[in-house]
């Protein structure tokens, strides 16, 4: 099993193994820790004489040598309907776009990013309120079963692969500035933005020049002036160009996470 190097965690920056490494150790599985697949790592992979490699959320490219290090190559689990949303953040962009379905796609790795032939794609209906964190948790489970099904078909010689068709789109990693909710945009656009960046990098608004992080929010049926903040029917609302966003849990800069009503009353 291959996973990332131990990384510093917390204020004391304690080197901590990845969850994959922790599981592998508990299960007695030999683990290779590496942030890059170097020639040394390739040698260790080759020494296993593995039939097939599986990549899930590793976040690094495999060299030509690495791609040839297993008998039947490598499969990758990607969370989009390829060739749509190639890249690091397909789930985030799925929600940012307000799509009504999410996808898991198992495909064969090639040298180009997320461009290999597809073994199978499965879809999950969305209810329109999921955040990235919630959807990733769901797709991690359904995707695991999806990969197992494909591997079984490969082992039985019944798996066929299809080249990707259509113009690709891309899903680059999101930064903090992507999380700013814009009062001049509609409520639905802002709610989709909140869903896509939650929990990371996080949604936020500016209130009198102070950044306020939005941990939990809903789409309201009420309307306010864009940027207006007030309490309506015991709910804290933030106005947009259409329906307001209901703020449920917030975190003003430099303060603890709190109930939005407490923050709004203190703000007044």
Domain housing 64: 36-155
Domain count, the chain: 2
CA-nearest of 189, 165, 196 to 81 is: 165
Q: Per-residue pLDDT tens, the chain, 268 aa: give them.
A: 899 999 998 888 899 999 999 999 999 998 999 999 999 999 999 999 999 999 998 877 888 999 999 999 999 999 999 999 999 999 999 999 999 999 999 999 999 999 999 999 999 999 999 999 999 999 999 999 999 999 999 999 999 999 999 999 999 999 999 999 999 999 999 999 999 999 999 999 999 999 999 999 999 999 999 999 999 999 999 999 999 999 999 999 999 999 999 999 988 5
Tokens 């390739």: give the residue: 42
Mapped onto helix, strand or coil, the DSSP state of residue 136 is: helix
Report CA Rg, the chain.
22
142 with 84, same domain: the answer is yes
213 with 146, same domain: the answer is no
Q: Give the count of beta carbons closer than 10 Å to the beta carbon of residue 142.
A: 15
* Cα angle value 246/251/252 (rounded, 5°): 105
Alpha helices in 13-125 (DSSP H): 19-27, 39-48, 64-67, 90-96
149 with 49, same domain: the answer is yes
Cα–Cα distances in Å, from 223 out to 93, 133, 220, 237, 241? Answer: 26, 28, 8, 9, 8
**Number of residues that make up the chain:** 268
- Listed in order, strand segments (DSSP E) in 141-207 are 203-207
**The domain that contains 146 carries what CATH number?**
3.40.50.170
């Amino acid at each position: 099993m291959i996973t990332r190097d131990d990384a510093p965690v917390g204020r004391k920056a304690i080197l901590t193994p990845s969850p994959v490494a922790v599981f592998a150790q508990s299960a007695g599985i030999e683990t290779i820790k590496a942030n890059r697949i170097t020639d040394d790592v390739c040698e260790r992979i080759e020494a296993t004489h593995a039939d097939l490699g599986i990549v899930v959320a590793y976040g690094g490219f495999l060299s030509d040598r690495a791609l040839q290090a297993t008998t039947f190559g490598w499969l990758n689990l990607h969370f989009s309907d390829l060739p749509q949303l190639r890249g690091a953040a397909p789930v985030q962009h799925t929600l940012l776009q307000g799509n009504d379905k999410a996808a898991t796609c198992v495909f064969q790795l090639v040298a180009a990013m997320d461009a290999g032939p597809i073994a199978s794609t499965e879809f999950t209906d969305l209810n329109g309120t999921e955040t990235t964190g919630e959807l990733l948790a769901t797709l991690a489970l359904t995707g695991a079963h999806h990969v197992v099904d494909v591997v079984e078909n490969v082992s039985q010689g019944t798996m066929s692969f299809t080249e990707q068709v259509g113009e690709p789109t891309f899903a680059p990693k999101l930064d903090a500035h992507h999380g700013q909710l814009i009062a001049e945009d509609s409520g639905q656009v802002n709610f989709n933005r909140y869903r896509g960046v939650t929990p990371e990098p996080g949604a936020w608004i500016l209130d009198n020049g102070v950044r306020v992080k939005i941990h939990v929010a809903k789409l309201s049926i009420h309307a306010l002036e864009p940027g207006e903040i007030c309490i309506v029917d015991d709910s804290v609302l933030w106005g947009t160009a259409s329906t307001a966003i209901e703020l449920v849990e917030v975190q003003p800069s430099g303060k603890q996470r709190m109930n939005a009503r407490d923050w709004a009353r203190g703000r007044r």
